[in-house]
Structure 1
């Protein structure tokens, strides 16, 4: 009789820690997303509340302004204490700490406290969810089996957020009111098996991306950054997907390709929509969008583009320009601030009584200044690569084909400010000039309660005044009568008030000197003194003392004062410290500062 013995297969004991880690790896990335979504929702609610209060305040102010202006001889009264001002003082105190106080990192990066706080809070949140509950059942703390896989899962879960922040058509920008260029630092800050090797490849691509995204490198070799950025991001996303998918978290990565593709599709659609005349069958209509280029100096170019149909923008916004005949590749695009405003901001009133000299000035300035209210005008700083080739075309007097994509970014809301100070250096006047024209238009239309508008511009050479002199001349002539205007121009080298002969005799090889072209399209044909006929214009020698200038404005005026500006980064660092001079004064509101 045969007997059989049943053999039970031996199963290795199941580690109870694995079930816990698997659950944590699944739940914690979702919790991080709930945290991020809650923060975005909170910012959006504050943004909506701020926008609503701004509109309500502007409406009330416009109703009172005309009545107050009829009181002749009234001088600003002394500032008295009022309990009702405490909430506003607390809000402005927060603005002082959050936006005026800054930290400098090296020579290239300056972040305000709000940016530092958000960045640090995000990093702390990521590490908190990564290392919380990492003690094994046996009591071993910070066990790598608990946090190793979780770190990868949390990191993979943040790829969609990083991708959204890196796109130009950023839905979060419209929700929170923070444009893509304001949060770019969050994007930059943010062996064996095959999936490990491909993960290392993605890590190398990410390291290269961080390197070329550093501001000094990006500013000097933008075209290299442009191509390297595209290639390394593609390698990073592709490698991250295959690496994460091996651990079943690839679902966090593949949506990034959809986000990126949607952004590119939207940009392409806008490009075709705004530039459809180029894609038509009539060559005569296609030439309407060709841009004229003027070489203002060896280092600056002015670009005029007839406004494409349906293209509108607000002061201070940017546009991406694609120039197939200038770019290294046909679809290469570069961002520039629009120095002009569209026809909605046309000035209609007359502020200053005309004299014989003023009639001559206006007849000369009228036609040349008109494009700043109807066309797209850009002031471009000439460097290497793309801008250098554009300057060479300008020197020849040729036109270029330009495809416009935009607008991008947001305009600063200055409607509730009694005194508006605009500060710029060099080509940064593109931002402040359009903002200057926008404020005047809003005052004219009773949309702003601004009573005093101060325009501060620092330039290397007095001949640079001619870049915008005709536009400022026309703006001063047509500005509303119920706003006080002060234009302060500071010349850091050379003569502060050159004559016509001095302007035209300058050598083209001088740094940033005027170039007189044979066809008369450059600014050498006009007189710098035309703008100086207005008492509101003052030209001084040396750098502006912003601390003294702002203190003077605070002491001379009552109500809310805002400072909005742009400059080169080195000057920006010093100026932000100057703007922070009066932290004890609740009526000084830092608004916007762009690089």
Structure 2
């Protein structure tokens, strides 16, 4: 008995049963096999089609990483050059043309950069919470994989690429071939970060794209290979169900609301998925696609475990416990001291674990910069945490009796790759709620870099939207400490918006500058007022001297900020809420404004960007609504390619928004 075609039970790379067999090829594309089982002899003749090239699915990802690497290298080179000029005190004002209203072809590259940033990273697809780049990559990647699954691999007849068992088998092999890539993109210690400058929290977006593609191909494979008559096939079905469940739990709304459930189930179901797919692939002779998953995942775990042991046990701190303070509302202030060779960068995060509360670890942004204590190798790490549910709520319950408690804490990190903002002349920090820990640390580090002539910032704007005055008190003293260090060459404006509740002593104790007050610009300058004219008048003058209001008196005396008294810094988490005896505030007046309502993000950004003398960096951290409003504002025409060609500076947007 003979047949022409593809054996239903054989994979795309066809292998006959390992019994007594003899093969006699007729031509290159046709093979005849004779199989003898007991007394029966069966002859199979079939067409040999080219096997799908699984590695083709990788080329798109590798090309994308290559582009990101080139962009990262160019950015580092530009930033290094700019900082070199800053250290050598070279004036770059002439190199930053002001908007003239006339199009300049010389700024066409800047316009292309602005357009690519808007289209790629700021505009978002409604309802799916994805940028255009994420959405386009998802569609393109899935389309490419489906093409590999359904398109013919050659022109040999008869064509079999539309037979269910053929495209089902190809889809399964392509899905298995991408599993190492999905695991690789989920690593916390990812070598891709060194090349592209993208931290694991950003690479996880690509991990989700690949994982969703694997999910779609897995179910296509199951539809094409519908028989569940053997154990290895049932194992494949179990793996598909496990991946489907973890994908559903990974939906943003579910993941954020039930993070502990998502994290624990994700680890469990992914292990089930990998093991069952491995079992499923053994009879199909493609288990070699799964083996790298164990190696990649194991290497990352060994590396993370080694750092965990190093920082928490080998470099054992004097006190392994963390101080947890209930600072009002649902806020917690966690401080611990650790020895960390090399320290951390402002804006990085760590994974904190409290063994007394469970084995889960949560990512928290470090709210201060790396500074060793005098006479010690340890540095204090500060975290501001809003208790939501799960472990953070358990942490708050521990402080319910005395308002504070001490718990043994372990950490893993630091992680993250914050953008380098040192080469930018205007730096804008926007935060909502506990997102202030990211922006305040970034501003503090920027001031230190300016003091050491390693940053170009001339204008710094700090905007924080907070619901109640109690939440403002969480970091009021920390903001005061950072503001007191503002360099004399930097014009600083700080705005605190109270979006709910009444304004109490804590906010009233802040200096609210009147029209005649000066702000810090070479030690003086920014008028605290809400209108556009008064905001713009707070900027340093083009000559680098005093503004018009101070020069009218016939002279200009810069106001040098002085450090607050030590007693103020001793206040810790509880910020003083009363004024001094003479009614003034203990701090100098560096342009702090306090307002009610929500900030007009578009107006703030438009005024600062259109008046900026050079490239602008915008850092934002906070709720999704705030981040979306910043993205939308920076997609407006005032920051678009046409405005850039007329002289408006380009804008780099950095977002700290965990998508764990």
TM range (shorter): 0.7 to 0.9
Q: Out of 408, 412, 417, which is 1:410 matched to? A: 417
Q: Which moved more, 1:373-382 or 1:409-418?
A: 373-382
> SS at the partner of 2:152?
coil
Q: Out of 436, 450, 470, which is 2:457 matched to? A: 450
Matched, 1:572 2:630: no
Counterpart in the other structure of 1:387: 392
Counterpart in the other structure of 1:48: 73
Compared CA separation, residues 340 and 219, structure 1 to 2 (3 A): same
Equivalence map 1:162-201=2 (5 Å): 162-189=182-209, 190=211, 191-201=228-238
Partners of 1:98 and 1:183 in 2: how far apart? 15
Partners of 1:555 and 1:578 in 2: how far apart? 13
> SS at the partner of 2:55?
helix
Counterpart in the other structure of 1:267: 304
- Deviation of residue 258 (structure 1)? 1.4
For residues 557-577 of structure 1, the C-alpha deviation after alignment (integer angstroms, 9 at most, x for no partner) is 232222210111233333422
Task: Determine if contact 2:329/2:470 at 8 Å carries over to the other structure.
Answer: no
Compared CA separation, residues 292 and 79, structure 1 to 2 (3 A): farther
Counterpart in the other structure of 2:20: none
Counterpart in the other structure of 1:439: 446
Q: TM-score, normalised to structure 1's length?
A: 0.81
Compared CA separation, residues 85 and 573, structure 1 to 2 (3 A): closer
Q: Out of 331, 346, 352, which is 1:315 matched to? A: 346
Partners of 2:655 and 2:190 in 1: how far apart? 21
Counterpart in the other structure of 2:474: 467
Counterpart in the other structure of 1:204: 241
Matched, 1:114 2:133: yes
Partners of 2:314 and 2:384 in 1: how far apart? 24
Compared CA separation, residues 399 and 57, structure 1 to 2 (3 A): same
- Deviation of residue 81 (structure 1)? 4.9
Equivalence map 1:333-348=2 (5 Å): 333-343=361-371
Q: Out of 43, 54, 61, which is 1:29 matched to? A: 54
Matched, 1:101 2:123: yes
Task: Determine if contact 2:426/2:460 at 8 Å carries over to the other structure.
Answer: yes
Q: Out of 286, 290, 293, which is 2:321 matched to? A: 290
- Deviation of residue 401 (structure 1)? 1.1
Count of residues paired in the alignment: 527
Task: Determine if contact 2:505/2:577 at 8 Å carries over to the other structure.
Answer: no
Q: Which moved more, 1:56-65 or 1:44-53?
A: 56-65
Compared CA separation, residues 13 and 277, structure 1 to 2 (3 A): closer
For residues 102-138 of structure 1, the C-alpha deviation after alignment (integer angstroms, 9 at most, x for no partner) is 2132xxx522222223222222221222222167613
Q: Kindly report the root-mean-square deviation, in angstroms, between the aligned alpha carbons of the 2 structures.
A: 3.1
Higher helix share: 1
> SS at the partner of 1:412?
coil
Partners of 1:59 and 1:542 in 2: how far apart? 42
For residues 39-80 of structure 1, the C-alpha deviation after alignment (integer angstroms, 9 at most, x for no partner) is 3233223322222222123323543556869xxxx9978576
Counterpart in the other structure of 2:498: 491
Counterpart in the other structure of 1:591: 653
Q: Out of 91, 96, 119, which is 2:113 matched to? A: 91
Compared CA separation, residues 235 and 278, structure 1 to 2 (3 A): same
Partners of 2:292 and 2:593 in 1: how far apart? 56
Compared CA separation, residues 481 and 120, structure 1 to 2 (3 A): same
Counterpart in the other structure of 2:83: 58
Compared CA separation, residues 495 and 147, structure 1 to 2 (3 A): same
Unaligned 5+ runs, structure 2: 1-35, 212-227, 511-569
For residues 498-528 of structure 1, the C-alpha deviation after alignment (integer angstroms, 9 at most, x for no partner) is 359999xxxxxxxxxxxxxxx9865165548
Unaligned 5+ runs, structure 1: 1-6, 280-285, 347-366, 504-518
Partners of 1:539 and 1:127 in 2: how far apart? 55
Q: TM-score, normalised to structure 2's length?
A: 0.74
